[in-house]
């Protein structure tokens, strides 16, 4: 369809998967990038779920250049990018990267950036984001530490940077926060608090994604340390005492005359 597009992560050329494909096949990196774009375009145009049936490495070579060994190498060293089996070829997490849903989320993110840029112009500050029309780069792999500073097209958590630019928290990192802190406090509520804090403190915003991620992680650690432990569940005992699971014994409830803390309060 005319007007459709896919966007490419700025860091694609340096991704470990690209370097691994180069090491395995000896194909120049510029050729690897071109073939990957042809693959993503093919799947985006001919699939709604990321799977093209009845095609294998030979078919990919005919449609997207290269040879069968090249596409088999991608399947081996970058299974998060391409899976080849007897049923056909599949792009994992297709809906997060391609298709109408991804384009819609990308357009919404671009609209928000334009609105922030217009507001920045009114305030006499630089707004918007330099670069092409694609806007938010795609999260093409699950990475960690500094590599996990890609902008996530499907992320709903954007954080302001210096100059009114916007950086999006990768969904992989969001899941890590939820796994680490979700049992202690409401992670998504804290992310919204951070968004509000950055809105109100323009002079303290980070210059880039890594700096913002460091700030978020420190914020989460402080919140976890300052959040009191949940109240232990207790069970009523027949003579009025309750079982304190933290202490592992039956105690008199607060307010009962036999509870020492009750006598001290009086």
233 confidence band (pLDDT: 50, 70, 90): very low
**Mean of pLDDT values over 182-187:** 85
pLDDT at position 156 is: 65
| pTM of the complete model | 0.43
pLDDT at position 8 is: 76
**Mean of pLDDT values over 200-214:** 87
104 confidence band (pLDDT: 50, 70, 90): low
pLDDT at position 240 is: 66
Q: Of 154, 159, 259, nearest to 215 (Cα)?
A: 159
Which of 41-50, 140-149, 188-197, 233-242 is predicted with the least confidence, judged by mean pLDDT? 140-149
Residue 230 has pLDDT above 60, yes or no: no
Residue 177 has pLDDT above 70, yes or no: yes
Whole-number Å distance between alpha carbons of 50 and 101: 13
**Could you tell me which CATH number the domain at 12-92 has?**
1.10.10
Collect all residues with Cβ–Cβ distance below 8 Å to 130 and sequence separation of at least 6. none
**Mean of pLDDT values over 57-62:** 94
**Mean of pLDDT values over 31-41:** 92
pLDDT at position 25 is: 93
HEC string for the chain: CCCCCCCCCCCHHHCHHHHHHHHHHCCCHHHHHHHHHHHHHHHHHHCCCCEEECCCHHHHHHHHCCCHHHHHHHHHHCCCCCEEECCEEECCCHHHHCHHHHHHHHHHHHHHHHHHHHHHHHCCCCCCCCCCCCCCCCCCCCCCHHHHCCCCCCCCCEEECHHHCEEECCHHHHHHHHHHHCCCCCHHHHHHHHHHHHHHCHHHCCCCHHHHHHHHHHHHHHHHHHCCCCCCCCCECCCCCEEECCCCEEECCCCCCCCHHHHHHC
Report domain extents, the chain.
12-92, 115-226, 231-266
pLDDT at position 139 is: 33
pLDDT at position 95 is: 74
Residue 260 has pLDDT above 50, yes or no: yes
Strand partners, 236: 242
Tell me the angle at which helices 171-181 and 209-226 cross, rounded to the nearest 10 degrees: 10
Other CB atoms closer than 10 Å to residue 1's CB: what's the count?
Answer: 5
pLDDT at position 75 is: 93
Of the two residues 96 and 262, the one the predictor is more confident about is: 96
Of the two residues 142 and 260, the one the predictor is more confident about is: 260
Whole-number Å distance between alpha carbons of 106 and 151: 11
Residue 69 has pLDDT above 50, yes or no: yes
11 confidence band (pLDDT: 50, 70, 90): confident
């Amino acid at each position: 369809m005319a007007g459709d597009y896919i966007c490419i992560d700025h860091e694609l050329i340096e991704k470990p998967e690209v370097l691994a494909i180069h090491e395995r096949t000896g194909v120049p990196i510029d050729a690897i990038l071109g073939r990957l774009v042809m693959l993503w375009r093919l799947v985006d145009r001919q699939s709604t779920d990321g799977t093209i049936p009845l095609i294998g490495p030979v078919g990919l070579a005919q449609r997207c250049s290269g040879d069968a060994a090249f596409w088999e190498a991608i399947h081996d060293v970058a299974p998060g990018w391409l899976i080849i089996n007897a049923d056909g070829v599949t792009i994992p997490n297709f809906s997060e990267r391609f298709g109408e849903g991804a384009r819609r989320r990308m357009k919404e993110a671009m609209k928000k950036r334009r609105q922030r840029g217009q507001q920045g112009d009114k305030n006499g500050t630089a707004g918007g984001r330099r670069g092409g029309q694609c806007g938010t780069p795609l999260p093409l792999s699950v990475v960690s530490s500094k590599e996990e500073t890609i902008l996530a097209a499907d992320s709903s958590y954007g954080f302001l940077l210096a100059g009114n630019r916007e950086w999006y928290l990768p969904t992989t990192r969001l899941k890590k926060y939820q796994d680490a802190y979700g049992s202690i406090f409401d992670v998504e509520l804290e992310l919204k608090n951070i968004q509000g804090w950055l809105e109100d403190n323009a002079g303290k915003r980070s210059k880039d994604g890594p700096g913002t991620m460091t700030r978020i992680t420190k914020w989460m650690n402080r919140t976890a340390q300052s959040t009191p432990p949940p109240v232990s569940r207790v069970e009523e005992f027949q003579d009025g005492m309750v079982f304190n699971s933290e202490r592992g014994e039956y105690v008199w409830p607060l307010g009962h005359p036999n509870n020492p803390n009750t006598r001290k309060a009086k």
